[in-house]
Chain A
Amino acid sequence: KQEVTQIPAALSVPEGENLVLNCSFTDSAIYNLQWFRQDPGKGLTSLLLIQSSQREQTSGRLNASLDKSSGRSTLYIAASQPGDSATYLCALGAGGTSYGKLTFGQGTILTVHP
């Protein structure tokens, strides 16, 4: 059974800092990995998708890496802004007949203060 752990559970940083969120998983037989953002009581917004054959993906100030052999992914946020404050979730997509069902980590609660 896939287990996903996100570290740290919470992070508070001043505006402008570069930061790294970590995600580790136990089963490397994944189809893909997605990073999501969730605002309180709201839906999930997909930030980045990394296919299992890829090593990283970039979108604006965000960069996500994937190392299947070590069971790790990192989300790098450059020049953080108060609007980045949210919960960040990583999710592993299962392959085969699971058609990519996602197993989520518990999330990292990020607060960026002005």
Chain B
Amino acid sequence: AAGVIQSPRHLIKEKRETATLKCYPIPRHDTVYWYQQGPGQDPQFLISFYEKMQSDKGSIPDRFSAQQFSDYHSELNMSSLELGDSALYFCASSSNAGTGSYEQYFGPGTRLTVT
């Protein structure tokens, strides 16, 4: 079965640079979520999209932005990177329309290292 795809898997950037993370949800899933997991931390919700519209927003810095495109893939854009942005970034998708279960399926994550 198809899973959530994230790219790149690893990314190294310097402070103040910009990074773009991509997520391709499971086919026919209508909702995408982004989470950030710092070292030794639990995943923290950043932002979600339902049918290409932002549906909820968590503790996402103003330096970060995200969108979902017509083909349902999503991108997380991170600017003015700081050392503290080093983390695992997960994308998850779910099927929420109608009788959708909201069960979230996670991608393998992108490990971002800011030096």
Partner of B43, one of A32, A44, A93: A44
Cβ-defined contact, A44 with B102, below 8 A: no
Residue B106 interfacial (CB < 8 Å): yes
Structural contact, B56 and A46, CB atoms closer than 8 A: no
Given A99-B31, A99-B96, A101-B48, verify A31-B102 contact (CB < 8 Å). Answer: yes
> A-side binding surface: helix, strand, loop or mixed?
strand
CA A72 – CA B77 in complex, angstroms?
37
- The verdict on B101 contacting chain A, using a C-beta distance below 8 Å, is yes
Instruction: From A49, A93, A107, give the contact of B42 (CB < 8 A).
Output: A107
* Those of A48-101 within 8 Å (CB) of chain B: 49, 51, 89, 91, 93, 97-101
**What 0/1 readout, one digit per residue, does chain B (81-106) give for beta carbons within 8 Å of chain A?**
00000001010101010000111111
Q: In the complex the two chains form, what is the Cα distance from A92 to B52 in whole Å?
A: 23
Can you list 30 pairs linking A and B with CB atoms under 8 Å apart?
A31-B102, A32-B101, A32-B103, A34-B103, A36-B106, A41-B88, A41-B111, A43-B107, A44-B43, A44-B90, A44-B92, A45-B106, A46-B103, A49-B101, A89-B43, A91-B43, A93-B104, A97-B55, A98-B55, A99-B48, A99-B56, A99-B96, A99-B102, A100-B31, A100-B94, A101-B48, A102-B104, A103-B45, A104-B42, A107-B42
A residues contacting B by CB (< 8 A) are: 31-32, 34, 36, 41-46, 49, 51, 89, 91, 93, 97-107
Where the two chains meet, the residues of B that have a C-beta atom closer than 8 Å to any C-beta of A are 31, 33, 35, 42-45, 48, 50, 55-56, 58, 88, 90, 92, 94, 96, 101-109, 111
